[in-house]
Amino acid sequence: MNIKEIKNDLLSESYYEIEHDSGLKIMVYPKAGYSSTYAVFGTNYGSIDADGIPNGTAHFLEHKLFESEELDAFELFAKTGAQANAYTSFDRTCYLFNCGANFAENLKILINFVQHPYFTQATVEKEQGIIGQEIRMYQDEPNWQVMFNLLRIAYQKHPVRIDIAGTCETIAEITADCLYDCYHKFYNLSNMALACVGNTTVEEVLKVVDETLENTPEVSGELRRDLLEPYEVGETYIEEKMAVAMPLFCFGFKEDVSKDPIGRTSLKEKILTSILFDTIFGETTEFYNELLSEGLISPSFCTEYFEGPGYRMTLFSGDSREPQKVAEAVKNRIVEVKKNGLDPVEFERVRRAQYGRAIMAYNDVDGLANDLILSHFENSKLFDDIDIYKNITIDDATERLAEEFDVDNFAMSVVLPKE
């Protein structure tokens, strides 16, 4: 077992990376004086990993793992006073809890239920009805639909175009054997990570792990296949009518991922994109305030860098009586900035503001635990953002701008009010 301390002099803090003998990567970030502790146990497996299995299996498996032959995990956590949850994203599944006391006991519960799956065909069929209701509920949610409609037309082959929960038809194909097969393939410890942040120590975490964790057989070969996707969007426009008071929009510019079809955007690239968003379209810009004063956008207008293994898009969303005019204004703004260059004063203001927020984020134990898991799966380190913000330049941002916001590779989704 190897333990490595990762320090940051600016924050005067450190966390520990542990290569456990079981193959599990463990990260512990002690926060002396904090009243709570947060733990996340995650696997590098999400909805896009559906090659040969029904869409929605990863999300279905997340739901079922909380059950056992006796009490389910939520009941066990409730007895200790902890708050527990889980989530499935496109590329990972995580199980977590937050507690103010009884951390060791809660960590045992977390490890135990994640490592002991219990599925029967009867319980699977019951869950199919529950998740089917959840899928139908999201189909009636306009903000969810406007986003996934965009992904369905922008992406031609990549499974990111499919809802994380799958469809009622695909989850009907899931069986207990299917869940066990996926569990044993993706929930092996070498494909997982555990992060603990807050009022704990390396010694406390390792004591629980050594007493509780059960080794898993290694799985050979790559678990995530190449997710080849054409550069061009599949279609450029889609609309749907739903019960909304004002039209909703979500549009974006798709990026080329052909150089690395299962790779991730680097942390530096993501930070640069965030800076570009705020520098060009942020709430302090003349562009934003002109659109706001003209009534073309509302304060709901927002930007997002949507990226993961094999997919990358710069997204814009909100509500507007004239979504097409918003899209044209954004395109014109992109062309203008690419021609005239970034405002150096605004760039520096945004860089400093985001740098400050990045430092403040190290007080959030919940966010830190999830960031530790994400950074591990992305092959980066937690403190890397501090150095990037400190040293990034407008030349870096200009180079990144040239790679993004291709106005000719654009797709738009709109949800209109029912007549």
Domain ranges of the chain: 2-212, 237-417
Find the mean pLDDT for residues 363-378: 94
Res 60 pLDDT > 80:
yes
Find the mean pLDDT for residues 170-183: 95
Res 224 pLDDT > 90:
no
Query: What amino acid occupies position 408?
Result: D
Intrachain domains 2-212 and 237-417 with the same fold: yes
Which one of the listed residues 62, 67, 229, 404 is annotated catalytic? Answer: 62
What is the Cβ-side half-sphere exposure of residue 43, based on CA atoms within 13 angstroms? 27
Res 262 pLDDT > 70:
no
Res 128 pLDDT > 80:
yes
Q: HEC string of the chain?
A: CEEEEEEECCCCEEEEEEECCCCCEEEEEECCCCCCEEEEEEECCCCCCCCCCCCCHHHHHHHHHCCCCCCCHHHHHHHHCCEEEEEECCCCEEEEEEECCCHHHHHHHHHHHHHCCCCCHHHHHHHHHHHHHHHHHHHCCHHHHHHHHHHHHHCCCCHHHCCCCCCHHHHCCCCHHHHHHHHHHHCCHHHEEEEEEECCCHHHHHHHHHHHCCCCCCCCCCCCCCCCCCCCCCCCEEEEEECCCCCEEEEEEECCCCCCCCCCCCHHHHHHHHHHHHHHHCCCCHHHHHHHHCCCCCCCCEEEEEEECCEEEEEEEEECCCHHHHHHHHHHHHHHHHHHCCCHHHHHHHHHHHHHHHHHHHHCHHHHHHHHHHHHHCCCCCCHHHHHHHHCCHHHHHHHHHHCCCCCCEEEEEEEECC
Minimum mean pLDDT among 99-113, 144-158, 210-224, 402-416: which range? 210-224
Q: Which residue has the tokens 């926060």?
A: 31
- Residue among 192, 252, 258 nearest 228 (CA): 258
62 is an active site residue: yes
Tell me the C-alpha distance between 273 and 268, whole Å.
9
Res 222 pLDDT > 80:
no
> Binning pLDDT at 50, 70 and 90, where does residue 261 land?
low
Find the mean pLDDT for residues 340-350: 97
What pLDDT score does 419 carry? 78
- 2-212: CATH number: 3.30.830.10
Give the residues across from 414 on adjacent strands: 239, 249
> Binning pLDDT at 50, 70 and 90, where does residue 227 land?
confident
- 237-417: CATH number: 3.30.830.10
